[in-house]
């Protein structure tokens, strides 16, 4: 089939417009793709109340998605609880939990992802990065923080009824790129939560949030999730990143 010159020009212009409109989506995708892919282990703390913390061990790897394994080690009443978070792009996210009292592993239903985690302002759903395929993107301009310029983008879910938030606004460092901050709105357009990466673990051009703060704007209460002592390489066990590995015997660690 032959196309007239005018039709060809229209198609080319339409493709160019689509490409220009996806610049902010491309930036977001690159920031997510830049999350550290190598296996690592880090120790950390989750602030659950003023002056109270839960000590955890976190392991992370990128394979068929971002797989994060977390075990609570202190206080004693939480010791041994484990979670496996599989954060996929273009596929379903999954979260499993291991209860040391029953020795059972169970997949958590999505409604439990949105409940306060270990008594903090953080919910497990906040550890999942939005899958770009499920959102529309809009450029929100730039902001300057501490002498650094960040690109602001707005993500709106294509299926609003299934999303925790009505709109997500992210500030992205375009040089890395990496996610630096997030402001989240409910379905009525009210700002309800803020997320701030206060410290970043850098490995070449890759990044991981080493200290992140979650703020409930209604109460102005916040929780801080801090990771330190990053150790790269294969973990001691072989099944940490599979649901079956959650019930394995604890890996010996130096206290």
Quick one: pLDDT at residue 251? 54
Question: pLDDT: is 229 or 235 the higher one?
Answer: 229
Span 32-247: which CATH code?
2.50.20.10
Question: pLDDT: is 10 or 205 the higher one?
Answer: 205
User: Hey, how many other C-beta atoms are within 10 angstroms of the C-beta on 11?
Assistant: 11
Could you tell me which residues are beta bridge partners of residue 58?
42, 70
Average pLDDT over residues 204-211: 96
* pTM of this structure: 0.85
State the residue for tokens 């610049």.
Answer: 23
Q: Note the pLDDT tens digit of each residue in 81-102.
A: 999 999 998 889 999 999 999 9
Q: How far apart are CA 62 and CA 158, in angstroms?
A: 26
End-to-end CA distance of the chain: 72
CA angle 200, 135, 23 (to 5 degrees): 70
Coil vs helix vs strand at 220: coil
Average pLDDT over residues 211-233: 95
Q: How far apart are CA 4 and CA 247, in angstroms?
A: 65
Q: How far apart are CA 107 and CA 194, in angstroms?
A: 27
Q: How far apart are CA 25 and CA 137, in angstroms?
A: 6
**Domain-by-domain residue ranges, the chain?**
32-247
């Amino acid at each position: 089939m032959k196309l007239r010159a005018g039709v060809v020009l229209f198609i080319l212009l339409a493709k160019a417009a689509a490409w220009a409109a996806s610049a902010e989506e491309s930036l977001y995708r690159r920031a997510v793709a830049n999350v550290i892919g190598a296996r690592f282990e880090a120790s950390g703390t989750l602030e659950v109340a003023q002056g109270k913390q839960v000590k955890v061990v976190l392991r992370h790897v990128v394979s068929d998605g971002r797989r994060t394994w977390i075990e609570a080690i202190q206080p004693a009443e939480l010791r041994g609880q484990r979670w496996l978070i599989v954060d996929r792009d273009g596929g379903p996210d999954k979260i499993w939990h291991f209860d040391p009292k029953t020795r059972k592993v169970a997949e958590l239903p999505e409604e439990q992802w949105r409940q306060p985690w270990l008594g903090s302002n953080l919910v497990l759903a906040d550890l999942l990065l939005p899958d770009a395929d499920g959102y529309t993107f809009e450029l929100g301009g730039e902001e300057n923080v501490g002498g650094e310029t960040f690109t602001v983008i707005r993500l709106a879910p294509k299926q609003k009824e299934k999303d925790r938030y009505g709109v997500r606004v992210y500030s992205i460092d375009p040089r890395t790129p990496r996610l630096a901050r997030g402001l989240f709105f409910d379905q009525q357009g009210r700002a309800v939560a803020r997320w701030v990466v206060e410290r970043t673990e850098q490995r070449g051009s890759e990044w991981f949030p080493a200290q992140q703060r979650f703020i409930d704007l209604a109460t102005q209460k916040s929780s801080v999730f801090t990771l330190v002592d990053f150790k790269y390489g294969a973990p001691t066990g072989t099944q940490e990143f599979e649901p079956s590995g959650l019930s394995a015997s604890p890996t010996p660690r130096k206290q």
